[in-house]
Amino acid sequence: MPSLLFLLFDTLLPSLAVSFKRQGDAGLVFRTANGVKRRRKRGPEWYTVIGLSILNVMLGAGLQGGFEFVLTEVLNLRSALQVTTTLPMPWTIAKGVAINFLLREVGLSVITAPGAKLTSSQALQYYIQRFLLHPASPNPISNLHNTYAHSVCAPYAFTSHYDHPIPWIFSRFLPTYFPSIVFRTHLLTHFIFLSLVTLEETITFSGYTSIPGILLGGIARRQDLHMESGGKGNFGAWGLLDWVHGTSLGNDVMDDMKDEVEKHQVKERGGRALSNAKSAGSEGLRAWNGRRKSSRKA
C-alpha cells in the first residue's frame, strides 16, 4: 500500500515528482514528453515489477508460517517468535526494534575500528549483498539478482522487493526475520519492526532525494546510486558498514551527518544573529524613547 501511494504520486503528478527524483525524468515509472505519458524504455514493465514484488512478499509470509508450523506441529518445539496474550511493555518493544535494526545492518560482527578486520558469525544484509549477491566472481544467485533486481537502473518504491525469489530470500527476508528469531522477540515487536522496515524501504527505494532527516535522505541517495551503478557499492541499509569497509558510493553516512550538523549550525548562527539584531533594535528603541522623554521634560 505505501508503494502504491508513491506510484500514484509519480503517475498523477509527474511534473512535481520529477523535482524530487535524483535521476530526474529517468526516475519516473511513466516518463512524460510534451505532456504525453509514455513507458520508460529501461527495465521491466511496471506490472511485472508489481506482480513479482507482491509474489515475493507472499512467499515471505508463507516461509515464516511454514517454519512456525514445522517447529510447533511437527517437531513439537516452541515457536520461533514469542506468541503470548501478555503484550510486551513499550520499552521492551523499543529495545527489541532497535536491536533488530542493528543486527539487520551489522550482523553479529565485532567492529574494532574503521579499516580493521571484521569477524562475523552471521552475515546479514551488508555481507549478503556484497559477498553473495555482488561477489568478485559471479555465482548462480548473483546472476539471478543482476538479471532481475538490477534490470532496474532508476528505482521506484515497488522495486524494493523486485527480485528473483531465491536472491530475494537472502537480501530481504532473512535480514528482517533472522534478528527476530535470534532474540525470540514478541510477535508484536516483530510486526512493528517489519512495518518500520517496510516504511524505510518504501522511502529509500522511491528515488526521492529531498527527504528530511539525517538517515532517510542519505539512505535514499545511496540506494539510488547502488541501483544506477549496477551494484558496485552501497551494500548496507544504513551505510555504516559501507563506511567501515570503504565501499560507499558518493557521500557516505559520515558525510551526511557532517552536512546535517553544518545545517543545524547555520540555522543556530542565523537564529543567534536574528536574536542579536532584535536585541540591538530593542535597546536602540528604548534609548530613542528615553531621549524623547528627556527632550520633552527640558
Position 87 scores a pLDDT of: 85
Which residues pair with residue 109 across a beta bridge?
A: 120
| CA–CA dist 68, 148 (Å, integer) | 29
| CA–CA dist 153, 167 (Å, integer) | 18
Position 287 scores a pLDDT of: 58
The angle formed by the CA atoms of residues 280, 284 and 289, to the nearest 5 degrees, is: 150
| CA–CA dist 161, 173 (Å, integer) | 10
| CA–CA dist 49, 154 (Å, integer) | 13
Calculate the CA 255 to chain-centre distance. Answer: 17
Residue 30 dihedral angles phi and psi, to the nearest 5°: -115, 110
**β pairing state of 109-110 and 119-120:** antiparallel
Position 70 scores a pLDDT of: 95
Question: Residue 175 is inside which H or E element, if any?
Answer: helix 174-182
Position 243 scores a pLDDT of: 83
| CA–CA dist 243, 35 (Å, integer) | 42
Positive or negative CA dihedral for 124, 135, 143, 155? positive
pLDDT in tens, the chain (298 residues): 888 888 888 888 888 888 888 787 777 887 644 444 444 455 788 899 999 999 999 999 999 999 999 999 999 999 999 888 888 888 988 988 888 887 776 654 433 333 333 333 334 678 888 888 999 899 999 999 999 999 988 888 899 999 999 999 998 898 889 888 888 889 999 999 999 888 888 888 888 877 665 567 778 888 888 888 888 888 887 777 888 888 888 877 787 777 767 765 655 555 555 565 456 555 555 655 565 555 555 5
Position 201 scores a pLDDT of: 86
Tallying the residues shown for the chain, one arrives at 298
Which residues pair with residue 30 across a beta bridge?
A: 39
Q: Which residues contact 195 (CB under 8 A, 6 or more apart)?
A: none
